[in-house]
């Protein structure tokens, strides 16, 4: 079966198949498959072709899958065929950074008025006993910081408002 997902780096095609009790996932263009099996505690055991083993947790929310692995959150969405052109242009996410799941703000990494690059870490949050860096979805200038260190936030809460960079 083929699945398409979109994350911060673009759209990805995954080939998913069952073999010997495991699920094998191959990202389009990759030579080797990654083996994924369920652990008894709600985690997934991910074994790469390089022999490395990791634990991952997946949270489903509407059309998104949040994958927690190696201290990072990978936000996967099924592509929306109706708005595919907008998504390809990067405008679908919007400039502001919102909490991807409930948690506590551990550290703010930027100040109001600071220029930020797309992908630059802005906030460190703790959720499910894991610290995660949340990055700027777009380049711009920090307009407002809507949270404080130590604050508990709900999924979807605004963390940092970012406006487009000033015209040259």
pLDDT at 114: 94
Domain chopping of the chain, boundaries: 2-81, 94-163
Long-range contacts of 86-92 (CB under 8 A, 24+ apart): 87/6, 87/11, 88/11, 90/118, 90/137, 90/138
Q: In the predicted model, is pLDDT for residue 28 greater than 90?
A: no
- Between CA 120 and CA 139 the distance in angstroms is 8
Which run of H or of E encompasses 87? helix 84-88
Q: How much is the pTM?
A: 0.48
CATH number for 94-163: choose from 2.40.50.100, 1.10.565.10, 3.40.50.720, 1.10.10.60.
Answer: 2.40.50.100
* pLDDT tens digits along 102-127: 889 999 999 999 999 988 999 999 98
* pLDDT tens digits along 34-91: 888 877 777 888 888 788 888 888 876 666 777 888 787 777 776 554 444 444 444 3
* Angle of CA points 64, 56, 59, to nearest 5°: 30
């Amino acid at each position: 079966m083929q699945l398409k997902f979109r994350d911060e780096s673009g759209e990805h095609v995954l080939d998913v198949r069952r073999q010997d009790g495991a699920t094998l996932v191959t990202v389009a263009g990759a030579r080797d498959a990654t083996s994924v099996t369920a652990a008894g505690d709600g985690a997934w055991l991910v074994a790469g072709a390089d022999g490395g083993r990791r634990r991952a947790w997946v949270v489903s929310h509407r059309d998104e899958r949040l994958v927690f692995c190696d201290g990072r959150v990978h936000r996967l969405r099924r592509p929306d065929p109706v708005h595919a052109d907008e998504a390809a242009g990067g405008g679908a996410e919007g400039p502001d950074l919102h909490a991807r799941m409930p948690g506590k703000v551990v550290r703010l990494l930027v100040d109001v008025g600071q220029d930020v690059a797309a992908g630059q870490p802005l906030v460190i949050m703790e959720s499910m006993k894991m610290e995660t860096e949340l990055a700027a979805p777009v380049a711009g200038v920090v307009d407002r910081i809507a949270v404080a260190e130590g604050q508990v936030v709900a999924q979807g809460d605004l963390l940092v408002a970012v406006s487009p960079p000033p015209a040259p």
